């Protein structure tokens, strides 16, 4: 994949949706790998449950939004040390090339979101036989 085909948006370039929840928002680390027949996206989203992930692909833009629920009741917990942040994840990418939207698959395992974006087969030229009547 060339640099022109994939545009990594940094925090400064990413357009974040309006937030309705209080709390932090994180930009998950991600890798994009191009194989012969698909693009593979791996994104780190620790603490996220599969039901709290929203992945959308439209007009070449892949968006990942995930929510992490608090691990404990905040009002009733007396933290002595608190380093683990809880909040939402948001990341978007502009992917070049054609994607077979119907074939996109997502799986979440051990805090890593894996997206399989199969490449669409380009329209092939078909020679039409003309019959004499």
In a domain, 1, yes or no: no
The vertex-86 CA angle with 106 and 33, nearest 5°, equals 30
CB atoms < 10 A from the CB of 3, how many? 8
Q: Note whether residue 125 is domain-resident.
A: no
Q: For residue 110, is pLDDT > 60?
A: yes
Query: Does residue 127 fall inside a structural domain?
Result: no
- Strand 30-34 and strand 105-109: the pairing is unpaired
CA distance 85 to 64: 19
pTM for the model stands at: 0.71
H/E stretch holding 39 reads: strand 38-44
pLDDT digits over 6-58, tens only?
444 444 344 445 555 566 788 999 999 998 899 999 999 998 999 999 999 99
Q: Is residue 25 included in any domain, yes or no?
A: yes
Residue 31 covered by a domain: yes
Domain enclosing residue 42, as ranges: 6-72+84-118
* 124 within domain boundaries: no
The answer to whether residue 95 sits within a structural domain is yes
**CATH code, domain carrying 16:** 2.60.40.790
Domain count, the chain: 1
């Amino acid at each position: 994949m060339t640099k022109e085909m994939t545009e990594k948006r940094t925090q400064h370039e990413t357009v974040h949706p309006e937030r309705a929840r209080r709390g932090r928002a994180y930009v998950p680390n991600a890798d994009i790998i191009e194989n012969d027949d698909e693009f593979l996206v791996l994104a780190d989203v620790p603490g996220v449950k599969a039901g709290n992930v929203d992945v959308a692909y439209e007009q070449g833009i892949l968006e990942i939004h995930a929510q992490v629920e608090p691990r404990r009741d905040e009002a009733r917990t007396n933290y002595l040390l608190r380093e683990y942040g809880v909040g939402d994840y948001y990341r978007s990418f502009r992917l070049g090339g054609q994607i077979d939207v119907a074939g996109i698959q997502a799986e979440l395992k051990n805090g890593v979101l894996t997206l399989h974006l199969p490449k669409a087969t380009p329209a092939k030229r078909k020679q039409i036989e003309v019959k004499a009547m």
